[in-house]
């Protein structure tokens, strides 16, 4: 989401940390610099902010000198991606970005093989890890596909519209996170990992410059984690309205429907068809707002509770525990 309140499953922090710890690295100082602690990693309900995950990954990259986070058969030295990105700028279209980036990594890395194909009206980018046993939770595979979708989109100044995502693994426990990562239907147990999109997008011109790229790389990987989540149309419209609301907690479904120029009954039906409800969307936004505010140590829990519409901190604590499995104080605690 464009809002800083977007959150991410702690699954990725846990699995990225695990890759380095299998190689003997001490990751506790890294967790502390990312405002995380080990007690949170084992709870799959916990969610963290894009800034926390970005800081964590930056520190892991530098510590291991490996952009593949010790999940590839060979390290990918820290700084390889910016080299590839500068090479991609010499192209002219999305097609050249895809071709150049795949060719570059196939030359410099033995840990992954990229393949870019065009046929009829479709295009496909796929990848294969040389040793997938080193990535048992599929985090490196998902991370690379996330990058190879979002970086080319940034290069042409608009999102690459995907028609489908494909994974060779079975549906994982964290599959719900894919809705926030990939804007397309997901298919599992396929012959390869990758995504497909319409071929006519390949002629889109590159609009970025070397100056823009330097700023982009200074932020990396934050932009990859904090870009807008992908939701069905009415879910997205409700989220937009709630994010603009002066008082999120007291905003009603009727007020939201009026703002969208439809009836409450129609809005309820549309959201049901999209597999959600007004209250579920609202609770998710309150949860992500709470996570964002709790990552700011200067904000008292009582102040956060009031901002989110809770009359008592105890009511906020119960709700936050229901949302994440831990109390606000446990979430904020440093290891």
For residue 249, give the CATH number of its domain: 1.10.10.60
pLDDT of residue 5: 54
Domain boundary among 168, 193, 226: 226
- The pTM for the full model equals 0.75
| Rounded distance between C-alpha atoms, residue 123 and residue 99, angstroms | 11
pLDDT of residue 1: 31
What values do phi and psi take at 203, rounded to 5? -85, 0
Q: How confident is the model over 65-95, as pLDDT tens digits?
A: 999 999 999 999 999 999 999 999 999 999 9
Residues 271 and 327 placed together within one structural domain of the fold: yes
| Rounded distance between C-alpha atoms, residue 297 and residue 247, angstroms | 23
- For the CA atoms of 303, 308, 313, 315, the dihedral, rounded to the nearest 10 degrees, stands at 180
| Rounded distance between C-alpha atoms, residue 4 and residue 234, angstroms | 21
Query: Do 161 and 152 meet the contact criterion of CB atoms below 8 Å apart?
Result: no
pLDDT of residue 4: 45
Q: How confident is the model over 104-115, as pLDDT tens digits?
A: 999 999 999 999
pLDDT of residue 335: 35
pLDDT of residue 333: 66
Tell me which residue range forms the domain holding 311: 233-332
pLDDT of residue 166: 97
Residues 85 and 113 placed together within one structural domain of the fold: yes
pLDDT of residue 263: 94
Residues 216 and 241 placed together within one structural domain of the fold: no
pLDDT of residue 2: 38
- For the CA atoms of 315, 316, 319, 325, the dihedral, rounded to the nearest 10 degrees, stands at -120
Query: Do 235 and 242 meet the contact criterion of CB atoms below 8 Å apart?
Result: no
Residues 73 and 207 placed together within one structural domain of the fold: yes
Low-confidence ranges of the chain (pLDDT < 70): 1-5, 227-231, 333-335
Number of domain units in the chain: 2
């Amino acid at each position: 989401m464009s809002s800083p309140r977007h959150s991410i499953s702690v699954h990725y922090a846990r699995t990225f940390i695990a890759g380095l710890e299998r190689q003997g690295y001490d990751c506790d100082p890294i967790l502390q610099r990312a405002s995380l602690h080990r007690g949170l990693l084992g709870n799959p309900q916990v969610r963290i902010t894009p800034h926390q995950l970005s800081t964590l990954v930056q520190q892991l990259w530098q510590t291991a000198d490996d952009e593949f986070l010790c999940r590839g058969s060979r390290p990918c030295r820290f700084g390889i991606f910016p080299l590839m990105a500068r090479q991609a700028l010499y192209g002219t279209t999305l097609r050249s970005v895809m071709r150049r980036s795949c060719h570059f990594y196939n030359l410099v890395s033995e840990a992954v093989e990229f393949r870019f194909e065009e046929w009829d009206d479709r295009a496909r980018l796929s990848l294969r890890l040389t040793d997938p046993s080193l990535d048992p939770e599929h985090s490196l595979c998902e991370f690379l596909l996330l990058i190879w979708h979002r970086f080319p989109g940034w290069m042409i100044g608009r999102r690459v519209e995907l028609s489908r995502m494909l994974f060779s693994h079975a549906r994982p426990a964290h599959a719900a996170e894919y809705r926030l990562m990939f804007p397309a239907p997901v298919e599992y147990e396929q012959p390869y990992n990758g995504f497909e999109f319409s071929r006519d997008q390949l002629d889109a011109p590159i609009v970025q410059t070397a100056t823009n790229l330097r700023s982009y790389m200074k932020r990396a990987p934050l932009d990859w984690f904090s870009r807008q989540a992908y939701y069905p149309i009415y879910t997205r419209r409700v989220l937009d309205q709630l994010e603009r609301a002066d008082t999120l907690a007291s905003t009603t479904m009727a007020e939201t429907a009026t703002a969208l120029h439809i009836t409450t009954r129609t809005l309820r039906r549309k959201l049901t068809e999209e597999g959600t409800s007004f209250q579920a969307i609202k609770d998710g936004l309150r949860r992500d707002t709470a996570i964002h505010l709790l990552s700011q140590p200067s904000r008292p829990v009582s102040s956060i509770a009031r901002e989110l519409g809770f009359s008592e901190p105890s009511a906020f604590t119960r709700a936050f525990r229901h949302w994440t499995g831990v109390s606000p104080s446990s979430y904020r605690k440093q290891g």
